[in-house]
Amino acid sequence: MKHFVACLSLFPLVLLSCKDSPKLPPAPAGDFNAKAPSRKDPGKEGSPLGVSAPLRLASSSASAPEAVKLMLWHSYRAKERAALEASAARINARAAGFTIELLAVPFDALPDKISNAIPRGHGPDLFIFAHDRIGDWAKTGLIAPLDAHMTEAIARRFIRPALDAFVQRGSLFGLPLAVKPLALFYNRALVKDPPPSTDRMVQVAKAATDKAKGVFGLVYENGDPFFHAPWMHGFGAKFLTVQNAPALDSPEQAKALAFARALDAEHGVVPKEVSGGLVSNLFNAGKAAMVIQGPWFLGDIESVDFGVAPLPGVSATGMAAATLFTSEGVIVSAKSTKIAAAAKAAEHLTRDEEALERALVGRQPVANANVYDNPKVKTDAILMAFRGQLERAVATPAVPEMRHVWTPLQKALSKVLRGLAKPEDALKAAQREAEASIKMASKR
């Protein structure tokens, strides 16, 4: 079927170029998160969402054989896994011409298993993973484009940036399940109200910090570019130019690094050498007033009365501390012998009914726009906080160049946080390293 009108321009914070966007159906002007009108399935009048009637895929999927068995790999655990298993069981009971068999693979092992197994024909028919690897996977022909299996009705069920994140090389390479930006978690015993600005954040953090008792006002993995990105964007810096060249050596980057350094060296509110484990331990022990984490952190919290809010704006610029976000979705293997059936299964997994299951049971900030109008979700302060943060978020660029800037920036962060280099000097070195790495890769 013909492509629709490109949409990346509707989400100005996204760093990827619009020129390669697939022509997906546009959201209404001025509202990139516009939702489709409420629809009711005639067979489900009692549905709390008004779930849409079964959607027809493009004609290319009509030839899917009956009772096709599909293997789906995922790395979900606990509540997320329970929600996925319930959805798969419900979908299998629909007798839609296929059945889904689930295989849980440890998260750290999943990308390598996908990269190694699929080319040899031993991998899954479809799998769940974040969008940030699709650039390499699409380039090497490991994953299948879904353009031929898309309809306008399917596209309109999603929050638009979540769908756009799966755009690569002019095609769509996945259907989104969940969006995972960072947000501010705060201990209600130590913080009354979440701060709206970084100036106020520092004040609140100072008041809560008591180093003699091992209590810190703000705890986050400040040496990781993913967690540093909100300050970077808030000061007007970015990872890449619109031509996907490194953009590390800039005054805005230097200001962001100086701010990160000041949180420890000047204000004394952040501990040194922060790891993910330390974040969890301090928050659960009541020794972290505020932490910056993603929705996956919900499963790590133990017996803490906490709240979640969007990150504070950067006082020095008046700009949002826009976090990176990953769009996690269903991706189809290009080596599967059942691509049409796998694409149909992906569509079933991303319907509103299944998204509601993942939101309420799996505690996921889902990618389906209509779900946030459901009364149970709409009154869920945690899910709505992540939904609000998505308004101030940037999809992690899925282009191959991104991996060439990540490590140099991480090294610069480490040097500056430890007081081993000035921001400007560290960033100049990072820029040179990133440029050299990209040049070397282009010769291979």
CB neighbours of residue 43 within 10 Å: 9
Q: Output the pLDDT for position 283.
A: 98
Q: Output the pLDDT for position 23.
A: 41
- Mean pLDDT for back-to-back runs of 10 residues, the chain (444 residues): 34 34 37 32 31 39 65 95 96 91 95 93 94 90 94 94 90 96 97 97 98 97 97 97 95 98 97 92 97 94 96 97 96 96 97 96 95 97 95 90 95 97 98 96 81
Q: Output the pLDDT for position 66.
A: 59
Alpha-carbon gap, residue 382 to 320, rounded angstroms: 20
Q: Output the pLDDT for position 30.
A: 30
* Residue 142 in tokens: 């490991």
- Per DSSP, the residues of 280-302 read HHHHHTT-EEEEEE-GGGGGG--
Query: 354, 157 in Cβ contact below 8 A?
Result: no
- Alpha carbon 28 to its chain's center: 23
Query: Residue by residue, what is the 3-state secondary structure of 315-383?
Result: CCCCECCCEEEEEEEEEEECCCCCHHHHHHHHHHHCCHHHHHHHHHCCCCCECECHHHHCHHHHCCHHH
Query: 377, 360 in Cβ contact below 8 A?
Result: yes
Query: 216, 270 in Cβ contact below 8 A?
Result: yes
Longest dimension (CA), the chain: 68
The amino acid sitting at 285 is A
Report the first-to-last Cα separation within the chain, whole angstroms. Answer: 36
Alpha-carbon gap, residue 58 to 61, rounded angstroms: 6
pTM for the complete prediction? 0.80
At 393, is the secondary structure helix, strand, or coil?
Answer: strand
How many residues are recorded in the chain?
444
Q: For 314, phi and psi rounded to 5 degrees?
A: -80, 115
Q: Output the pLDDT for position 169.
A: 80
Residue ranges and CATH numbers for the domains of the chain are: 8-37+58-180+326-395 (3.40.190.10), 181-324+400-442 (3.40.190.10)
Q: Output the pLDDT for position 398.
A: 86
Query: 25, 155 in Cβ contact below 8 A?
Result: yes
Q: Output the pLDDT for position 323.
A: 96
